[in-house]
Amino acid sequence: MISYADNADNPMPHLALVAEKFDVNKQPTLVRIHSECMTGDLFGSKRCDCGEQLDIAMQQAAERGGILIYLRQEGRGIGLTNKLKAYQLQDQGFDTVEANTHLGFQVDARQYAIAVQILEDLGIRQIELLTNNPDKIDALDHSPVEVVKRIPIVVPAKKENALYLHTKKTVMGHLF
C-alpha cells in the first residue's frame, strides 16, 4: 500500500494497493480506479454496488498482479455528510443524480488526474482498466497512460440498488 497526498500532513491520502505479483515490466497492467464509498466499501450498503466492485477488483488485481487505486472522493466527490443527505432524498423518491443536483452539486464531481499521476509514478504506461465508467476512460484517453482494454466490472442488481444501477446506465452512461 502506497499513500499519495498533496502534502505530508494530509490525513486522508489516496492509496495505491499494489499486488504482490506486480511487475512494472509486464505491461499492460490490470488497474481499477475506485472512489471511496464508506457506506458500500466498509459498511456493506446495498444501495450501491461499490463494495462488491471493490471486492471483485481486489481479487482480480491480486490474481493478475494488478493495482487498485483508491481515491478519497466519497459520494462522487460531495463527501460523506452530503451523501447521507442525498440518501434521505433517495428515500423520498429521487434517484442518485436528482439527489445530488437537488443539493446543488454536480452529478459527478470526481477528478481522475491524481490517478494518472499515481500510475505514472508507478511506471505504468499501458493498462487494462477495470471499469464501467466512461468518465474514467475519457480521463485516461487524454493522458500519457494508454488504456489497451476496458474490462467491465458487473455486479448483479438487487432490489435495493436496481434504480441506482439503472440510473448509472441510462443517465450517466455507464457501460454494463
Three-class HEC string of 96-129:
HHHHHHHCCCCCCCCCCHHHHHHHHHCCCCEEEE
Helices 113-121 and 134-141 cross at an angle (nearest 10°) of: 60
How many H helices and E strands in the chain?
A: 7, 6
Which are the catalytic amino acids?
A: 108, 110
8-state DSSP, 82:
H
For the record, the C-alpha cell of 120 comes out as 505514472
Give the 3-state secondary structure of residue 172. coil
Q: Are 70 and 112 in contact (CB under 8 A)?
A: no
User: CB atoms < 10 A from the CB of 158, how many?
Assistant: 13
